[in-house]
Amino acid sequence: MKTELFIITPPFTQLNTPYPASAYIKGFLNTKNISATQADLGIEVILKMFSKNGLTSLFATPLTKPLSANSKRILALKNEYLKTIDTVIHFLQGKNPTLALQICSSDFLPEASRFSQLEELDWAFGAMGTQDKAKHLATLYLEDLSDYIVECVDENFGFSRYAERLGRSANSFDELYTTLAQAPSYIDELLISILKEHIEKVQPELFLISVPFPGNLYSAFRAAQWVKKHHPQIKISMGGGFPNTELRSLSDTRVFEFFDFITLDDGELPIELLIENISGRVPKEMQLYKRTFLLENGKVVYRNDSFRKDYKQADVGTPDYSGLLLDQYISVIEIVNPMHRMWSDGRWNKLTMAHGCYWGKCTFCDISLDYIKVYEPVQAKQIVDRIEELSIKTGQNGFHFVDEAAPPALMREVALEILRRKLAVTWWTNIRFEKSFTADLCLLLKASGCIAVSGGLEVASDRLLKLIEKGVTVEQVARVTRNFTEAGIMVHAYLMYGYPTQTIQETVDSLEMVRQLFEAGILQSGFWHQFAMTAHSPVGLYPEKFGVIKDSEIIGTFANNDINYTDRTGIDHNKFSFGLKKSLFNFMHGICFDYELQDWFDFKIPRTKIPEDFIEIALNEDQQFNTKPTAKVVWLGNNPEIDYFTKTKKGNSWEMTTLTFHDKKQTFTIQTNRNEGEWLSAILQKISIEREKVYTFADVKADFETGMENFELFWYSKPVNNLREFGLLVL
């Protein structure tokens, strides 16, 4: 008996690219020859809502309360919105680029309150081209409509989340259950109409709903509710990031009025077992499950009785995006933050280099959960195989590696493999600011197509970094960000305030560190977030070790992750939020470095204890030049042209060589004596990126010393140093 599956991501996640969970599962099911259809209902609802027909229906929705001046203006301009909406959406889908000129002309789009911030942002457009400026204006136009929807139609609406409040720390299922008992909202009706079409077309036996975030939870329950009512024979299962972190102690039986199963952690094996069980191939008394909640005899039970091991990353297949509306996602520019812009602009194929985190020690992180705790890298060749396969299938060569932290050694091997195969790809990922990110490694990553990295600086204080067990120092972070920046790779830093025992002085000093990093030009983007204590982190598990007290030990019957706590310092860290974020906004745009730190706050703060040249000194410290014999030596450039000439000085003559190199931007030459020149030309061919054989520094030294002496004298000479700037890398 063939089991048909339908997999969805409910509204809403991203507008510009599909969340990858359904594509991962579909890719795995392909390896088992199991038929599956997938859909991103988020983008489908958005496209239906933000269309001429959708807005016509929206503006016709009866009003139940007096309108604000802003909503009155939008309603008065409804004909302008109806006239422009379809062309704007097509533009944001990349299908109508010439519209940018008209959008930028300032008399094409109707404007409401979101456009009032334009005067403040005018200076930011200096670095933006016409297409980018038009995208930003079109984004403001959509946000105006969003404001109208929130005020007049559905207060829970958000472009990247829906009814998020109902999913955040919902220890009790009561409020969500009560809301689901009410009549569907306008957006619910849109969701249900689209879902109905899919269900009737696919007619699945098993309906899988991936819930990555709290902002997807309500829609997931609405979708399950409708299917349960109208197609009770279909089995429904929930998986994804939200249940993995929030529902691990689930006990409320009412949840199973909507879902038959809730699976945790890696979904491949749990789903395969569900398929076997519902297909009828396995007798009920012999059915086994993997990390699955279900209802038995009126009680919620957790079944993890299968002895089968989870699939290795090498065996889960390549993500399959087929069936998703890849050419209909919309790119927006919400804010002028370089990294956040990458999240919302352009379409990215999402992959992972490794399962879990190779570090796995940070005390604020959920390191007790499998998605972080179980570390398993994928082989570089297989990663690049997947890159090639996805590039062909999707027509897109942009990749976002969504690792917790991509391992530097694996990044190096992936970059080498990309270059060997002569692939033109663009990629970015999340990292730890490891000292192994040398200048040469950063140049290699850039050459392979890496354009950006994001990493956790967290609290820029060495005491707190040690308490977090981050494994880095501020000085090390500075040198690593310098290496990335000089290679032409953008760096984004995740910043944290309010970590347990953090003092006001440390918050101020952390801000000064961040100011200096931006002033030095080695950090291009950042974001401050306030520390939150989670149940599965070392801080949540052992709060007494970190000077905090849990406010309650009560475990809810529904979601349990975020924990309310009291910091023994008694500091109200929330009051720093506005000043930290405002200062960062200015630093990101290269201004206000000369402001006193006090200027960012409307309350008294202590003076920083960080020397004003702390980062500068860290960057200028002499690095001990010590090349490991096992380091790989790679040449990224082309073979040189070699010419000979005779040099005469004071009656002595000797033969010389001129090596002429051509790179993408310029032609340059170096000169050596004949023997060294011929050896250099030969060794560059041997260590070329195109060769499979890898030469170590010791190999290169031994090769040189077969016919000449004083290798170090030659290797650190001016001619070779010139080559180091053009692609001779020691990794």
Would you mind telling me the total number of residues written for the chain in this entry? Answer: 731
- Return the structure tokens found at 533: 């204590």
| pLDDT number for residue 122 | 54
Alpha-carbon gap, residue 670 to 159, rounded angstroms: 56
Angle, alpha carbons 713-485-531 (nearest 5°): 130
- Classified as helix, coil or strand, 128 is coil
Helices (H), 553-672: 577-588, 614-620
Q: Please state the rounded mean pLDDT for residues 607-632.
A: 86
Q: Specify burial of residue 389 (Cβ count, 10 A radius: 0-12, 13-18, 19+).
A: middle
| pLDDT number for residue 624 | 56
**Domains (ranges, CATH) in the chain?**
5-41+162-311 (3.40.50.2300), 62-152 (no CATH), 345-620 (3.80.30.20), 632-730 (no CATH)
DSSP 386-433: HHHHHHHHHS--EEEE--SS--HHHHHHHHHHHHHTT---EEEEEE--
**pLDDT (tens digit, 9 = 90+) per residue, 720-731?**
988 988 899 999
Question: Residue 569 — very low, low, confident or very high, per pLDDT cuts 50/70/90?
Answer: confident
- Return the structure tokens found at 495: 């910043």
| pLDDT number for residue 336 | 61
For 236, left (φ over 0), alpha (ψ -120 to 50), or beta? beta
| pLDDT number for residue 35 | 93
For 23-37, 283-297, 640-654, which range has the lowest pLDDT when averaged over its residues?
640-654
- Supply the mean pLDDT for the chain: 92
CA atoms within 13 A on the CB side of 197: 10
Q: Looking at the predicted structure, is the pLDDT value of residue 1 above 50?
A: no
| pLDDT number for residue 468 | 92
**pLDDT (tens digit, 9 = 90+) per residue, 150-174?**
999 999 898 877 777 776 657 889 9
Question: Residue 704 — very low, low, confident or very high, per pLDDT cuts 50/70/90?
Answer: very high
Q: Tokens 């403040």 map to which residue?
A: 120
| pLDDT number for residue 120 | 54
For 111-120, 476-485, 696-705, which range has the lowest pLDDT when averaged over its residues?
111-120
For 654-685, b where at least 16 C-beta lie within 10 A, e where not — what string?
eebbebebeeeeeeeebebeeebbbbbbebbe
| pLDDT number for residue 304 | 97
**pLDDT (tens digit, 9 = 90+) per residue, 13-33?**
989 999 999 999 999 999 999
For 62-66, 141-145, 409-413, 564-568, which range has the lowest pLDDT when averaged over its residues?
564-568
| pLDDT number for residue 335 | 64
**pLDDT (tens digit, 9 = 90+) per residue, 216-237?**
999 999 999 999 999 999 999 9
548-550 and 398-401: which strand pairing? unpaired
Question: Residue 252 — very low, low, confident or very high, per pLDDT cuts 50/70/90?
Answer: very high
**pLDDT (tens digit, 9 = 90+) per residue, 621-637?**
766 567 889 999 999 99
**pLDDT (tens digit, 9 = 90+) per residue, 477-523?**
999 999 999 999 999 999 999 999 999 999 999 999 999 999 999 99
